[in-house]
Structure 1
Amino acid sequence: MRRQPAAGFPWHRNHVGEPPVALITGASSGIGAEFARQLAAYGYDLVLVARRAEGLQILAGELESAFGVQVEFLPADLATDGGVSVVEARVRSLDRLEVLVNAAGFGLVGRLMHADPEKQQRMVYLHVMATMRLTQAALPGMVARQRGAIVNVSSVAAFLRRGRGSVNYIATKAYINVFSQVLQAELRGTGVQVQALCPGFTRTGFHETAEYARFRREQYPAFMWQTAEEVVRGSLAAVGNGQVIVVPGALYRLLVAIMRMVRV
């Protein structure tokens, strides 16, 4: 049984007929999974995308049980052309798509001169090409309906200009910011909102991969860490207010302002 949608999301309203749909990439864990939880609470049916079907299936069952929404899961590797093509086709077919969240991503460490070029290429493709192609696929329907929100998950790293060992991570996140800003200008008057969400350190599994084996969370004070719930709540609160670059948390907004001034 479908629960009464939660109040609070600026775009929440009583929909006539079938509920709207949100498609979320990187949905099996972290920020992507939290977007799924919060949008399900607002009454959205969901299409969840990630590489591994197991995690998606578990989350889909939890959300259907908790909120009474319909949840479809679509395993796809968005670092490949074939994976993106599968999800593109699904995006185009969704006539109730109202929210697209491009949350799939990963980080790499190490100087570029020593980096594995195949891993670098996968990351660049995922952050840049997958984001662009899925956004492009969503636009015709959203513009025709004069309603839609596209959230591209970036990072405060996008504002760095010095980041030894993270050249392409920083560069691709900067692309997401500029892409979102220019696209929003292009879409002015269409009813479609574009957002680049720039979280700082967030308590997810992002730093728990082999790439970050030497990373120690305790090296950074507790006040620098946000929860995925806080990050997503800040993102959804900003949807519809015309703000493209969204940095959750007062601390990180201050740090970004400083980085913009001194070009760290």
Structure 2
Amino acid sequence: MSEATTTGLAVISGASGGLGEPYADQLARRGHDLLLVGRRQDRLDTLAARVAKETGVNAEVLVADLTVESDLRALEERLRTDQRIEVLVNNAGVGGLTPLVKADLAEVTTLLQLNVTALTRLTGAVLGSLVERGTGTIINPSSALAVNLLPSGSAYSGTKSYVLTFTQGLHQEVAGTGVRVQAVMFGAVRTAIWDGSWVPLSSLPEEIVMEPAEAVEAALAGLDAGELVTVPSLPDVADWDAFEAARLKLAENVSRRHAAERFAVAGRG
């Protein structure tokens, strides 16, 4: 990936694991100072020190558990008030490929808190400042499972479908403001999010599992290309365009004055 000359602070939630490290590496190489947010102090400190040494950017650490209200509020306040922030990567999240009937519902609650509630609140916290300044980028990692549903992933797929449609709606909201948003529909990526899953990573064919650095590099290339939705493994973007066109065509008929004739419902007239 070519070096960029952008400046400003990039905030990466969930930076102590998963895709957080490659996002930190690649945004730092693009010239961004970093605020690395996560639960594990040791991993954050190690990542911050390495990235700062290798790239020369400033890398700050904020230890926070985004399922804890006080920690979430503290990060929201930083996002509202720090005028240096140019990029927010809502990377914090958990997996949950477990049939709902067998799931620990407390863990499902955590899934919803991180994948939906925290992402929405952090986006809302930074959005006003970005719109006021007329610049900035919000990156929301989604998943291929937002559209490729599995019997063991109803709750997880539901959260990632939310991320996708939330980002698409937000794109319309910020049109003309100078703020960019992107949803990234990652497929299977070799990260610890699979640990303890009903579907272990080792059960997947190697040919469908991408390395984290490559996945993030493709995601950022999609951002550079102006994509609202990036699917790093998709060979032909025309397939996504066709999917969207079908959705928009369907939308023309999802709300009408009368029920469709195929239901033979009384009361038409």
Deviations 1:71-94 (A, max 9, x none): 111111112322211111111222
> What does residue range 40-119 of structure 1 map to in structure 2 within 5 Å?
40-119=28-107
Deviations 1:19-54 (A, max 9, x none): 410000111122111100001111110000111111
How far the C-alpha of 1:254 sits from its partner, in A, is 9.1
Corresponding residue for residue 234 of structure 2:
250
Matches within 5 A, 1:106-255: 106-160=94-148, 162-207=149-194, 209=195, 211-212=196-197, 215-217=200-202, 219-250=203-234
Distance in 2 of aligned mates of 1:81 and 1:42: 32
Letter matched to residue 159 of structure 2: T
Please state if 1:13 is matched with 2:5: yes
State the Cα deviation string for residues 66-125 of structure 1 (Å, max 9, x = none).
111111111111123222111111112221111100011111233212322211111101
Shift of residue 147 of structure 1?
1.0
CA shift for structure 1 position 157: 0.4
Query: TM-score normalized by structure 2?
Result: 0.84
Unaligned stretches of 5+ residues in structure 2: 247-269
Q: How many positions carry a matched residue from both structures? A: 245
Contact 1:195 1:244 in 2 (8 A): yes
The higher relative CO (CA closer than 8 Å, separation ≥ 6) is in: 1
The superposition leaves residues 194-233 of structure 1 with CA deviations (integer Å, 9 ceiling, x where unpaired) of 11111111112222x2x2276252x333221111111111
What is the alpha-carbon root mean square deviation over aligned residues? Answer: 2.3
Unaligned runs of 5+ in 1: 1-5
Contact 2:190 2:201 in 1 (8 A): no
**Paired residue secondary structure (2:71):** helix
- Cα 1:255–1:111 change in 2 (3 A) is farther
**What is the alpha-carbon distance in structure 1 between the residues aligned to residue 87 and residue 160 of structure 2?**
20
Q: Is the 8 A contact 2:5 2:31 kept in 1?
A: no
Q: TM-score, normalised by structure 1?
A: 0.85
Instruction: Give 1:142 deviation, angstroms.
Output: 1.0
**Distance of aligned partners of 1:213 and 1:129 in 2 relative to their CA distance in 1, 3 Å threshold:** closer
Give 3-state SS (helix, strand or coil) of 2:15's partner.
coil
Question: Retained in 2: the 8 A contact 1:80–1:122?
Answer: no
State the AA in 2 paired with 1:137: A
Aligned partners of 2:164 and 2:183 also within 8 Å: yes
